[in-house]
Amino acid sequence: MGLDYSFEFLAPRSGASALLEALAGRVGEGYARVLRAALPWSPEQSGSGDAGIRGLRAVFDIQNYYDLVVMVGIDAEVRRYFSDSNRKIEDHTVNGKAGIGLVYMKMYAGQEYVRLVLTAATSGMSMLLACSGEVRKVMLGLARAGQARALFLDDEQDATWDLLYPLPRGQRWQHEVPRLLPGRLGRPGDVDAYCELSLELAGVG
């Protein structure tokens, strides 16, 4: 099996529209237009943690499964990604930024929190998410502009993941923290409990 690394944003439910608006400012033009047309955010499935985004067309008609092209600055890792993919970076560059995609998106919601998950479509893209400073810069900007409580990089470790925002004092890149283990939730799919425990384990107040 390939790698499926992802960025995960935990945010107040009241800030869901701000988070998606911030995301729209960091994706390809066509994706931005469609995403903004679905704002303000409301769940596709009310009363379900697997909420989705009403007004946004799901990929392959799979509930809560959407695709995006994320626009990032160009660094050595981005160049390597296109080279390894046998694609010309120039064909995917607009105004000095390269389009990385497809990136898959899911939106989960509780009564107090939402979880926005952006997942790489390939192993090569997973490595790019983990290694590129320009990708990291875009995701940090999204977390701040979107009022996220926390941003994590999930590199598929069993017991830990990387906290990218907010970082403890003295940390400048990322900080490995414990993650919520399977079976810890009393009710599977409880988004609020998942977010609260994840923040607690990461030491995010």
Amino acid at 163: L
* Whole-angstrom distance, CA of residue 182 vs CA of residue 194: 11
How many domains does the structure of the chain reveal?
A: 1
Q: In this structure, is residue 182 part of a structural domain?
A: yes
Q: In this structure, is residue 43 part of a structural domain?
A: yes
Domain containing 191 equals 6-202
pLDDT tens for each residue of the chain, 205 residues long: 699 999 999 999 999 999 999 999 999 999 999 999 999 999 999 878 999 999 999 999 999 999 999 999 999 999 999 999 999 999 999 999 999 999 999 999 999 999 999 999 999 999 999 999 999 999 999 999 999 999 999 999 999 999 999 988 877 778 899 999 877 887 878 999 999 999 999 999 7
Q: In this structure, is residue 12 part of a structural domain?
A: yes
Give the other-Cβ count within 10 Å of 75's Cβ: 18
Q: Provide the pLDDT for residue 65.
A: 97
Residue 91 tokens read as 């064909």
Q: Residue 176's closest CA among 200, 157, 197, 148?
A: 157
| Contacts with 133 (C-beta within 8 Å, 6 or more apart), sequence order | 75, 77
| Contacts with 58 (C-beta within 8 Å, 6 or more apart), sequence order | 44, 52, 64, 65, 66
Q: In this structure, is residue 100 part of a structural domain?
A: yes
* Whole-angstrom distance, CA of residue 68 vs CA of residue 97: 15
Q: Provide the pLDDT for residue 64.
A: 96
Q: In this structure, is residue 1 part of a structural domain?
A: no
Q: In this structure, is residue 181 part of a structural domain?
A: yes
* Whole-angstrom distance, CA of residue 113 vs CA of residue 59: 24
CB 139 within 8 A of CB 164: yes
* Whole-angstrom distance, CA of residue 197 vs CA of residue 143: 19
Q: Provide the pLDDT for residue 162.
A: 96
Q: Provide the pLDDT for residue 168.
A: 82
Q: In this structure, is residue 102 part of a structural domain?
A: yes
Q: Residue 68's closest CA among 2, 4, 1, 117?
A: 117
